[in-house]
Amino acid sequence: MADLASLRAVVSGRVHGVFFRAFVENRAGELNLTGYVVNLPDGRVEVKAEGERPRLEKLVGSLKVGPPAARVEKVAVKWGDYRGLFQGFDVRY
């Protein structure tokens, strides 16, 4: 089994109103990750996720691209230890 890890990613650019959260929720589901995605008041999107590190790395790759209507300018990622904090992957409001 691959190493387990967690991450917090903050995505900047045109990421509100372009189905970015739904895109992340779908991708995280495909990768069998847990956590959440939420719009931040300053126009960025925050993602917290846990799972196998190679799958998390794939998620980061997807965050850098985003859905078709998005324009991602920056993805800041902070890695951490797996803590088992989440049961599924949710969109938070």
Please indicate whether residue 21 is annotated as part of the active site: yes
Active-site residue identified among 21, 27, 44, 55: 21
C-alpha distances (whole Å) from 58 to each of 30, 33, 35, 43, 54 are 11, 11, 15, 24, 6
14, 26, 39, 53: which one is catalytic? 39
Token reading at 22: 């739904």
Q: DSSP labels for 10-62? A: EEEEE-SSSSHHHHHHHHHHHTT-EEEEEE-TTS-EEEEEEEEHHHHHHHHHH
Which residue numbers are catalytic?
A: 21, 39
